[in-house]
Protein backbone atom coordinates (compact mmCIF):
# COMPACT_ATOMS: atom_id res chain seq x y z
CA UNK A 1 0.00 0.00 0.00
CA UNK A 2 1.37 3.41 -0.96
CA UNK A 3 2.05 5.82 1.85
CA UNK A 4 0.22 8.59 0.02
CA UNK A 5 -2.94 7.81 -1.91
CA UNK A 6 -4.75 10.27 -4.13
CA UNK A 7 -8.18 10.02 -5.65
CA UNK A 8 -9.38 10.22 -8.26
CA UNK A 9 -6.49 9.44 -10.59
CA UNK A 10 -8.23 11.21 -13.45
CA UNK A 11 -10.98 13.78 -13.39
CA UNK A 12 -12.75 15.49 -16.28
CA UNK A 13 -15.25 18.22 -15.56
CA UNK A 14 -17.02 21.10 -17.23
CA UNK A 15 -15.97 24.68 -16.74
CA UNK A 16 -17.57 26.15 -13.63
CA UNK A 17 -17.85 22.91 -11.70
CA UNK A 18 -16.66 22.52 -8.13
CA UNK A 19 -13.69 20.17 -8.01
CA UNK A 20 -12.50 18.04 -5.10
CA UNK A 21 -9.29 16.01 -5.05
CA UNK A 22 -8.55 13.81 -2.07
CA UNK A 23 -5.34 12.70 -0.42
CA UNK A 24 -4.91 10.10 2.31
CA UNK A 25 -1.64 9.23 3.95
CA UNK A 26 -0.48 6.59 6.36
CA UNK A 27 2.69 8.06 7.87
CA UNK A 28 3.29 10.66 10.51
CA UNK A 29 3.95 13.98 8.89
CA UNK A 30 5.14 17.45 9.73
CA UNK A 31 3.35 19.05 6.78
CA UNK A 32 1.31 18.25 3.68
CA UNK A 33 1.82 19.96 0.36
CA UNK A 34 -0.41 20.41 -2.64
CA UNK A 35 1.38 21.08 -5.89
CA UNK A 36 0.35 21.68 -9.47
CA UNK A 37 2.23 20.38 -12.47
CA UNK A 38 1.48 21.59 -15.96
CA UNK A 39 2.42 19.77 -19.16
CA UNK A 40 6.11 20.37 -19.74
CA UNK A 41 6.99 19.55 -16.17
CA UNK A 42 7.01 22.79 -14.18
CA UNK A 43 5.77 22.31 -10.63
CA UNK A 44 4.14 25.06 -8.62
CA UNK A 45 3.65 24.75 -4.90
CA UNK A 46 0.05 25.63 -4.04
CA UNK A 47 -0.26 25.03 -0.32
CA UNK A 48 1.61 23.76 2.67
CA UNK A 49 -0.63 22.63 5.50
CA UNK A 50 -0.06 21.31 8.95
CA UNK A 51 -3.60 21.88 10.25
CA UNK A 52 -6.95 23.38 9.35
CA UNK A 53 -7.67 25.10 6.09
CA UNK A 54 -6.02 27.50 3.68
CA UNK A 55 -7.46 29.48 0.81
CA UNK A 56 -5.84 31.18 -2.14
CA UNK A 57 -8.11 32.61 -4.79
CA UNK A 58 -10.35 29.81 -6.05
CA UNK A 59 -8.30 27.13 -4.36
CA UNK A 60 -9.03 25.77 -0.91
CA UNK A 61 -7.04 23.11 0.92
CA UNK A 62 -8.09 21.36 4.10
CA UNK A 63 -6.41 18.79 6.29
CA UNK A 64 -7.67 16.52 9.03
CA UNK A 65 -4.65 15.33 10.99
CA UNK A 66 -6.59 12.76 13.02
CA UNK A 67 -8.03 11.13 9.92
CA UNK A 68 -4.80 11.59 7.92
CA UNK A 69 -6.73 13.09 5.06
CA UNK A 70 -6.55 16.25 3.00
CA UNK A 71 -8.68 17.70 0.24
CA UNK A 72 -8.00 20.26 -2.45
CA UNK A 73 -11.03 22.11 -3.76
CA UNK A 74 -11.29 24.31 -6.83
CA UNK A 75 -14.31 26.55 -7.09
CA UNK A 76 -15.62 27.87 -10.42
CA UNK A 77 -13.16 25.69 -12.33
CA UNK A 78 -11.63 26.98 -15.54
CA UNK A 79 -9.81 25.27 -18.42
CA UNK A 80 -6.56 26.86 -17.26
CA UNK A 81 -6.88 24.77 -14.07
CA UNK A 82 -6.19 21.69 -16.20
CA UNK A 83 -3.05 20.13 -14.77
CA UNK A 84 -1.82 17.32 -12.58
CA UNK A 85 -2.37 18.01 -8.91
CA UNK A 86 0.00 16.26 -6.55
CA UNK A 87 -0.23 15.72 -2.84
CA UNK A 88 3.04 15.25 -0.97
CA UNK A 89 3.65 14.72 2.71
CA UNK A 90 6.78 15.62 4.57
CA UNK A 91 8.28 13.24 7.04
CA UNK A 92 12.04 13.78 6.78
CA UNK A 93 11.60 13.93 3.03
CA UNK A 94 8.75 14.59 0.62
CA UNK A 95 6.68 11.47 -0.10
CA UNK A 96 4.63 11.98 -3.22
CA UNK A 97 1.21 10.82 -4.27
CA UNK A 98 0.73 9.61 -7.82
CA UNK A 99 -1.13 12.75 -8.82
CA UNK A 100 -4.61 13.54 -10.12
CA UNK A 101 -4.89 14.53 -13.75
CA UNK A 102 -7.58 17.20 -14.02
CA UNK A 103 -9.10 18.28 -17.32
CA UNK A 104 -11.59 21.13 -17.36
CA UNK A 105 -13.57 21.37 -20.57
CA UNK A 106 -14.92 24.72 -21.75
CA UNK B 1 12.99 37.63 -7.09
CA UNK B 2 14.44 35.14 -9.55
CA UNK B 3 13.09 31.62 -9.37
CA UNK B 4 14.91 28.34 -9.10
CA UNK B 5 17.11 27.85 -12.14
CA UNK B 6 17.98 24.43 -13.44
CA UNK B 7 20.43 23.81 -16.23
CA UNK B 8 20.44 22.37 -18.75
CA UNK B 9 16.74 22.06 -19.62
CA UNK B 10 17.25 19.11 -21.90
CA UNK B 11 20.04 16.60 -22.18
CA UNK B 12 20.67 13.48 -24.22
CA UNK B 13 23.36 11.07 -23.09
CA UNK B 14 24.37 7.54 -24.00
CA UNK B 15 24.50 4.58 -21.67
CA UNK B 16 27.62 4.45 -19.58
CA UNK B 17 28.26 8.18 -19.67
CA UNK B 18 27.97 10.45 -16.69
CA UNK B 19 25.99 13.64 -16.32
CA UNK B 20 25.99 16.66 -14.03
CA UNK B 21 22.89 18.75 -13.48
CA UNK B 22 22.84 22.15 -11.84
CA UNK B 23 20.34 23.93 -9.63
CA UNK B 24 20.54 27.53 -8.47
CA UNK B 25 18.08 28.19 -5.64
CA UNK B 26 16.22 31.35 -4.89
CA UNK B 27 18.54 33.89 -3.33
CA UNK B 28 18.60 33.38 0.41
CA UNK B 29 17.31 29.81 0.28
CA UNK B 30 19.78 27.42 1.86
CA UNK B 31 17.93 24.16 1.36
CA UNK B 32 17.94 22.38 -1.99
CA UNK B 33 16.27 19.06 -2.67
CA UNK B 34 16.32 16.89 -5.77
CA UNK B 35 13.61 14.66 -7.21
CA UNK B 36 13.33 12.22 -10.07
CA UNK B 37 10.09 11.95 -12.01
CA UNK B 38 9.43 9.01 -14.32
CA UNK B 39 6.13 7.84 -15.82
CA UNK B 40 6.36 4.52 -14.04
CA UNK B 41 7.58 5.58 -10.60
CA UNK B 42 6.21 9.08 -10.30
CA UNK B 43 8.13 11.56 -8.22
CA UNK B 44 10.82 10.19 -5.96
CA UNK B 45 13.09 11.93 -3.53
CA UNK B 46 16.80 11.82 -4.32
CA UNK B 47 18.50 13.95 -1.67
CA UNK B 48 18.36 17.18 0.25
CA UNK B 49 21.17 19.60 1.06
CA UNK B 50 21.31 22.34 3.61
CA UNK B 51 24.31 24.59 4.12
CA UNK B 52 26.56 22.34 2.04
CA UNK B 53 25.61 19.22 4.01
CA UNK B 54 23.50 16.34 2.78
CA UNK B 55 20.65 16.04 5.26
CA UNK B 56 18.60 13.25 3.74
CA UNK B 57 18.97 10.72 0.98
CA UNK B 58 16.39 8.67 -0.86
CA UNK B 59 16.66 5.08 -2.00
CA UNK B 60 18.82 5.50 -5.05
CA UNK B 61 22.02 3.67 -5.92
CA UNK B 62 25.41 5.19 -5.29
CA UNK B 63 25.63 6.22 -8.94
CA UNK B 64 23.49 9.18 -7.91
CA UNK B 65 25.37 11.79 -5.93
CA UNK B 66 25.16 15.45 -5.23
CA UNK B 67 26.75 18.38 -3.52
CA UNK B 68 26.00 21.91 -2.49
CA UNK B 69 28.32 24.86 -2.70
CA UNK B 70 28.78 27.74 -0.29
CA UNK B 71 26.50 29.92 -2.43
CA UNK B 72 23.77 27.25 -2.03
CA UNK B 73 23.93 26.21 -5.66
CA UNK B 74 23.67 22.47 -5.96
CA UNK B 75 24.75 19.88 -8.47
CA UNK B 76 23.72 16.30 -8.88
CA UNK B 77 25.76 13.75 -10.74
CA UNK B 78 24.75 10.43 -12.22
CA UNK B 79 27.54 8.12 -13.28
CA UNK B 80 27.38 5.10 -15.56
CA UNK B 81 24.03 6.11 -16.98
CA UNK B 82 21.39 3.48 -17.59
CA UNK B 83 18.36 3.67 -19.85
CA UNK B 84 16.15 3.72 -16.77
CA UNK B 85 17.73 6.97 -15.64
CA UNK B 86 15.79 8.78 -18.34
CA UNK B 87 13.55 11.11 -16.37
CA UNK B 88 12.69 14.64 -15.45
CA UNK B 89 14.97 15.77 -12.63
CA UNK B 90 13.50 18.51 -10.50
CA UNK B 91 15.10 20.57 -7.82
CA UNK B 92 13.37 22.65 -5.21
CA UNK B 93 14.63 25.27 -2.84
CA UNK B 94 13.17 26.35 0.43
CA UNK B 95 13.98 28.47 3.41
CA UNK B 96 12.87 28.24 6.98
CA UNK B 97 11.12 31.59 6.74
CA UNK B 98 9.13 30.57 3.68
CA UNK B 99 7.71 27.54 5.40
CA UNK B 100 5.61 29.85 7.53
CA UNK B 101 3.85 31.17 4.44
CA UNK B 102 1.37 29.58 2.11
CA UNK B 103 4.01 27.54 0.30
CA UNK B 104 7.05 25.55 1.29
CA UNK B 105 9.05 24.82 -1.79
CA UNK B 106 9.83 26.56 -5.02
CA UNK B 107 10.55 24.22 -7.88
CA UNK B 108 12.71 24.65 -10.91
CA UNK B 109 11.47 23.77 -14.38
CA UNK B 110 13.50 20.60 -14.35
CA UNK B 111 16.10 18.95 -16.53
CA UNK B 112 14.76 16.34 -18.90
CA UNK B 113 17.42 13.68 -19.29
CA UNK B 114 17.18 11.11 -22.04
CA UNK B 115 19.57 8.19 -22.01
CA UNK B 116 19.93 6.35 -25.30
Q: Region A20-37: what's the mean pLDDT?
A: 92
Please report which confidence band the pLDDT of residue B102 belongs to, taking 50, 70 and 90 as the band edges: very low
C-alpha B38/C-alpha B25 separation (Å) is 23
Question: Chain A: nearest CA to B80, how far in angstroms?
Answer: 25
Tell me the average pLDDT of chain B. Answer: 89
Phi first, then psi: give them for residue B20, nearest 5 degrees.
-125, 125
Asked whether B15 and B85 are in contact (CB, 8 A), the reply is no
Dump pLDDT digits (tens) for A54-88.
Answer: 999 999 999 999 999 999 999 999 999 999 999 99
C-alpha B26/C-alpha B94 separation (Å) is 8
Numbered residues of chain A with Cβ closer than 8 Å to any chain B Cβ = 31, 33, 35, 40-48, 54, 56, 86, 88, 90, 92-99
Residue spans of alpha helices (H) in B12-102: none
Flag if A44 and B107 touch (Cβ within 8 Å): yes
Dump pLDDT digits (tens) for B31-79.
Answer: 899 999 988 778 899 999 988 999 889 899 999 999 999 999 999 999 9
Amino acid sequence: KNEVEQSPQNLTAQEGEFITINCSYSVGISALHWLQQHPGGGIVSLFMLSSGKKKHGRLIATINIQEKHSSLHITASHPRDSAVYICAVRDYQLIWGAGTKLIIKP
Amino acid sequence: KAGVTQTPRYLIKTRGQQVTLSCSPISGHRSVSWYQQTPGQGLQFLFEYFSETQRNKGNFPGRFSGRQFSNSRSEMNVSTLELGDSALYLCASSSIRDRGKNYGYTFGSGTRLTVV
